[in-house]
Amino acid sequence: MARMCGNSDTARLRGAFIAEVLANEPLCRDHWRMVLTLPQFPTTRAGQFVNLQCRPLDDLLGARQVDWPAGGTPRFTQPELTDRETMLRRPFSLAGRRDCDGKVELDVIYRTVGVGTHWMSELKPASSISILGPLGNGFRILPGKPSAVLVGGGVGIPPMLYLAEALTAGGKNIAAFLGARSAELFPLHLLTGGHVSPEGSPAECVAELAEWSVPTAVATDDGSLGFTGLVSEPFERWLDAGKLGADDVVVYSCGPEPMMQAVGDICIERGIECFLAMERHMACGMGTCQSCIVKIRDDSEQGWSFKLCCTDGPVFSAGDVIW
């Protein structure tokens, strides 16, 4: 798939944009892939996220409807009583981007867990959704390190796809370790004829990563796919079996906190640089509400301060995070 085929306009400033749903398809139990298209969107990096508005566009809610026909019944309730409306936006990592024929396509892979994500899963192609972003700092690609390892779990897997593409473009050797509860909750496609190693050894078996020639190991809690157990175990074994020096490799991880903590600790013990994409409940995503705090080590008197996941992060250096 050609990622760049002709330049699309790049919006200069971040903001709220109206996107059209190009596709919204189930991937596996509770997981969906949504492709959004819009005429322009600012430059993005892997690890950044967008805030989706999980309700009809404001104009449909009568945002500008401040008048009513003389003698008619005022439509007071229209903006108030929308079915299953969420007020705040919902944050989602970018799982991919294509700039093509003067249009931008953005991928989001999401799991239905509550009101907002269920609303999203009912969106039909050609419907509109408001998207705010891009938000956050994104993963840094280090020129001095030829190898990269991706460790993703659950809804931390989507940003790893976008990152795999960026790292490939940067000419890196990449291996991926992905974890899920069970095979039916694994949101990516398996290559037909590909072999998912039960020992958790990376092989080209996951279609979305094989596209970038990234060998991938899969682990599930119940052993229904790949290695049985936590993905950090085969990751650690592979790291120690390999000949990668700490100077050559950088590890990127996104997923449940216990997983990221384990991955971070494994890297810190071995002096390997490691970046984690953190998740926090967010109200704004723009650095104003101060809700999404992460405890980060610093040289202040008490040795740490609160940083904002949405603007200082979501990507932090593993060694800086205080769990």
Residues lying near other proteins in the complex (CB under 8 A): 13-16, 53, 58, 61-67, 79-80, 85-89, 130, 132, 280-291, 293, 305-306, 311
Whether the Cβ atoms of residue 248 and residue 127 lie closer than 8 Å to each other: no
Return d(Cα 87, Cα 77) in angstroms, integer: 16
The entry of ligand FES, other proteins, ligand FAD, none near residue 113 (CB within 5 to 8 angstroms by kind) is ligand FAD
Alpha-carbon span 40 to 318, nearest angstrom: 34
192 or 302: whose CB is closer to other proteins?
302
- Cβ 129 to ligand FAD, closest distance in Å? 14
**Closer Cβ to ligand FAD, 137 or 147, answer by number:** 137
- Least distance to other proteins from the beta carbon of 230, Å? 24
Separation of alpha carbons 284 and 91, rounded Å = 9
Q: Which is nearer to ligand FES, 166 or 284 (CB)?
A: 284
- Using the contact rule CB under 6 A, the part of the chain among 181-189, 205-213, 219-227, 279-287 near ligand FES is 279-287
Q: For residue 299, give both structure tokens.
A: 């040289």
Residue type, 318: A
| Site for ligand FAD, residues 66 to 125, rule: CB under 6 A | 86, 88, 90-93, 109-111, 113-117
Q: What's the token pair of residue 124?
A: 């039909």
Residue of this chain nearest to ligand FES (CB atom): 310
* Cβ count within 10 A of residue 278: 21
Q: Is 210 helix (H, G, I), strand (E, B) or coil?
A: helix
- Which one of residues 310, 315, 318, 321 is an interface residue with ligand FES (CB under 6 A)? 310
Supply the DSSP string of 122-153, one letter for each residue. Answer: TPPTT-EEEEEEEES--PPPPTT--EEEEEEE
Does 44 sit near ligand FAD (CB under 6 A)? no
Among 73, 281, 299, 302, binds ligand FAD (CB under 6 A): 281
Options 291, 304, 317, 320; binder of ligand FES; rule CB under 6 A: 291
Query: Taking contact as CB under 6 A, which single stretch among the options 102-110, 219-227, 228-236, 282-290 is the one that binds ligand FES?
Result: 282-290
User: How far, in Å, CA of 150 to CA of 42, rounded?
Assistant: 25
149's tokens: 């390892």
Nearest CA to 146 out of 167, 160, 163 is that of 167
* CA–CA gap between residue 33 and residue 308 (Å, rounded): 28
Using CA atoms, how far residue 275 sits from 48, 94, 109, 309, in Å, is 13, 17, 21, 13
What are the DSSP E strand ranges found in 136-269? 147-153, 173-180, 216-220, 227-228, 249-254
Residue 314 interface partner, choices ligand FES, ligand FAD, other proteins, none, CB cut-off 5-8 Å depending on type = ligand FAD
Pick the closer one to other proteins by CB: 203 or 286. 286
Closest to ligand FES by CB, 10 vs 290, is 290
Q: Token digits for 117?
A: 């994500």
Query: Which range, of 115-123, 170-178, 271-279, 281-289, touches ligand FES by CB under 6 A?
Result: 281-289
Q: Does 294 bind ligand FES (CB under 6 A)?
A: no
Positions that interact with ligand FES (CB under 6 A):
282-285, 287-292, 308-310
Given the rule CB under 6 A, which residues bind ligand FAD?
49, 86, 88, 90-93, 109-111, 113-117, 155, 158, 279-282, 314
